[in-house]
Amino acid sequence: MKTQTSKVGLMTFIGMTVALAASIRNIPDVAGSGWTMFFYMGIAAFLFALPICLISGEFGSTFPEKGGPELWVNNSLGPSFGFATSWLLWVQMFPGMVMVASALPPLLATAINQDKLGTNNIFTLIVILVVYWIITFLNMKFDMAKITGQIGAWLGIYIPLAVMTILGICAVIKSGIHPASILGHFNATKLIPDPTDMKSLQYFSPIIFIFTGIEMSSVYITRIKKVSYYPIGVLITLVFMFLLNTVNGFLESAVVPSSQIDLNNIVQPVIVFDKILGLPSWIANIFSILVFIGVSVQLSAWASGPGKTIISSAQKGLYPPKFKFWKTDKFGDSHTVLLTQATIISLFALVYLLIPGINAAFLELVNATTVLYCVVYVFMAIGFIKLRLQKPNLKRPFKVGNTFIAWIVSIVLIATIIIALIATFAVGTLSNFIVVAIISIVLTLLPFWFVKIRKDSWTTEVKNLMTKYNLKNNFSKH
């Protein structure tokens, strides 16, 4: 069809990339870092996200088939690492979905004018569990991706972002930077993390997380009118995301006291802005309802999205047939996968009962999600270099400079990841480090264990079962 093969221009590509990567959910994290937000956002955008985009761009043009990171790592490091990549992109959503869903309780609390409930751990847990299980059952009964369409992007990102930015600018113009706010009084030395007080480092990992998933824009590289548009479009997108988050983070940190910031409460700055401007409270109520719907729709999309790679692997016989990950419904979803991830996500949600304080629990989830996602990026960086050395003559429509430049890009990405993780855990508690380390190590090693115990008979058994149930493998075979 024409719509599938039509080429897109630079501005369209930028819009598509922003729609994939932009979000308002991490603005409180940016605000919490104070004046160092500019430093951390700069590193995150140009020493983390830019190398990821460049590596993904070359991979995406070299292997234009569907598959993304799983396909790239499979073709560069081998099937075992490719399988591990698809696994990690699925399991990172366990803590990640809880982290995103944790935005819902304060939104609901504000919508019903019960703000204090938003900081209650038990209320937070109940809302996350109820909403996510409803979403799971809806995905088992309906084609939610088709029903929701672009609703999530408009309600969850564009409209709230416009409201938040306009109100924030007006509020800060009226009141200025409040002396008791996170920013306090300006001092040039505050722009760089203080070696004697590294508390702001705890926000580095959440800020890095803002850009995770940005590699997905590389799927559009074969549709761009000129391949040279890719690096230009990516750079413009990164600048836009830098401004989107730092401007709104600055506006929030200029009026919210550091002792009162709620990292999982997107609506908090809007409430403060309304008070400064003397606006009616219903504005915050409407804002909360819109974002609640938007976040729920995004959760619904993610509930079925990442699981598709698990279904694909299962249908190739990479998981034990008795798991039934291979069995799909008319929408292409596996009920077993949906129920499995809902159960595990529910267990991760218990962090809100086990850890006192909403912010501490939230940061724990962000750290675990970021570590798992960064393992994928390390695989990509290593595979990128290995492919350059082993297959230098491979056709690469988009190429990241010569081999020396490729080495620099990969080293910068890996070094940034290592520094970010060390810095994050350096300011955390020992228990935080142990919990996140155990989660990350276990979930990273599990797929390699699956590869070790895998039996060749699984492939034949799954094929026979799919024939019995008249199921088709609709996934590309990498």
Give per-residue pLDDT as tens, 172-219: 999 999 999 999 888 888 899 877 766 777 888 889 888 888 887 776
The burial class, CB within 10 Å (0-12 / 13-18 / 19+), for 369 is: buried
Return d(Cα 374, Cα 372) in angstroms, integer: 5
Whether the CB-CB separation of 11 and 178 falls below 8 Å is answered with no
Q: What is the dihedral angle through the alpha carbons of 280, 284, 290, 294, rounded to the nearest 10 degrees?
A: 170
- Per-residue pLDDT, averaged over 426-434, amounts to 78
Whether the CB-CB separation of 317 and 458 falls below 8 Å is answered with yes
Q: Which residues face 197 on adjacent strands?
A: 194
Return d(Cα 160, Cα 156) in angstroms, integer: 6
The sign of the dihedral angle between the CA atoms of 348, 353, 211, 409 is: negative
Highest mean pLDDT among 170-174, 326-330, 362-366, 463-467: 170-174
Give per-residue pLDDT as tens, 357-401: 777 777 778 888 888 999 999 999 999 999 999 999 999 989 998
Q: Is the pLDDT of residue 226 over 90?
A: no
pTM: 0.85
Phi, psi of 113 (to 5 degrees): 60, 40
* Percentage above 90 pLDDT, the chain: 44
Return d(Cα 462, Cα 466) in angstroms, integer: 6
pLDDT for 194 equals 79
pLDDT for 478 equals 39
Alpha helices in 307-357 (DSSP H): 307-315, 335-349, 351-354
Residues 6+ apart with CB under 8 A from 378: 414, 417
pLDDT for 4 equals 46
Of 132, 114, 51, 478, whose CA–CA distance to 296 is shortest?
132
Q: Which residue has the higher pLDDT, 144 or 380?
A: 380
Return d(Cα 70, Cα 455) in angstroms, integer: 21
* Amino acid letter, residue 4: Q
Whether the CB-CB separation of 440 and 27 falls below 8 Å is answered with no
pLDDT for 353 equals 83
Return d(Cα 437, Cα 430) in angstroms, integer: 10
Whether the CB-CB separation of 384 and 394 falls below 8 Å is answered with no
b/e per residue, 412-422, with b = 16+ CB within 10 A? bbbebbeebbe
Return d(Cα 99, Cα 161) in angstroms, integer: 20
Longest dimension (CA), the chain: 70
Q: Which residue has the higher pLDDT, 441 or 362?
A: 441
Q: Is the pLDDT of residue 474 over 80?
A: no
pLDDT interval class at 476 (50, 70, 90): very low
Q: How many helices (H) and strands (E) does the chain have?
A: 24, 0
Give per-residue pLDDT as tens, 67-78: 788 889 999 999
* Amino acid letter, residue 86: S
Return d(Cα 296, Cα 294) in angstroms, integer: 5
Give per-residue pLDDT as tens, 112-121: 989 888 888 8
- Per-residue pLDDT, averaged over 345-360, amounts to 83
The burial class, CB within 10 Å (0-12 / 13-18 / 19+), for 397 is: middle
Task: Give Cα separations from 419 to 37, 95, 402, 413, 450 (angstroms).
Answer: 17, 22, 26, 10, 31
